[in-house]
């Protein structure tokens, strides 16, 4: 099931759950797929995504699914609809 993530805390609570994060970056016009345990998907990390701030500033949106296929479909759909680039994160794609 796809869940929209609107706060950092929601994502922090999911950290130990297996799953995938779709991160949409409006300024970069980019959709990126991460595993939930990727450091770039961790709001606590300085390099990680910050859903609360993105929501507040309208600079992005985030979706989580336990299914990789579902996350990829959502990422591809978002990229297509917005004309953004879709990439799989090189750090956690293993
Ligand atoms: Zn990643």
User: SS in 3 state form for the chain?
Assistant: CCEEECCHHHHHHHCCCCCEEEEEECCCCEEEEEECCCHHHCCCCCCCCCHHHHHHHCCEEEEEECCHHHHHHHHHHHHHHHCCEEEECCCCCC
Q: Ligand 1 mean position to 89 CA, how many Å?
A: 4
Q: What is the pTM of this model?
A: 0.96
Q: Ligand 1 mean position to 38 CA, how many Å?
A: 5
Q: Ligand 1 mean position to 81 CA, how many Å?
A: 22
Q: Ligand 1 mean position to 77 CA, how many Å?
A: 19
Q: Ligand 1 mean position to 54 CA, how many Å?
A: 18
Q: What band does 93 get if pLDDT is binned at 50, 70 and 90?
A: confident
Of 76, 70, 22, 75, the C-alpha closest to 49 is: 22
Tens digit of each residue's pLDDT (9 = 90 or more) over 7-63: 999 999 999 999 999 999 999 999 999 999 999 999 999 999 999 999 999 999 999
């Amino acid at each position: 099931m796809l869940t929209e993530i609107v706060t950092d805390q929601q994502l922090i609570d999911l950290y130990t759950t297996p799953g995938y994060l779709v991160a949409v970056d409006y300024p970069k016009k980019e959709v990126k797929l991460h595993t939930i345990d990727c450091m770039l998907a961790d709001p606590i990390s300085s390099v990680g995504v910050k859903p609360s701030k993105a929501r507040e500033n309208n600079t992005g949106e985030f979706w989580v699914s336990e299914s990789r296929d579902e996350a990829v479909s959502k990422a591809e759909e978002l990229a297509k609809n917005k004309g953004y680039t879709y990439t799989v994160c090189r750090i956690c794609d293993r």
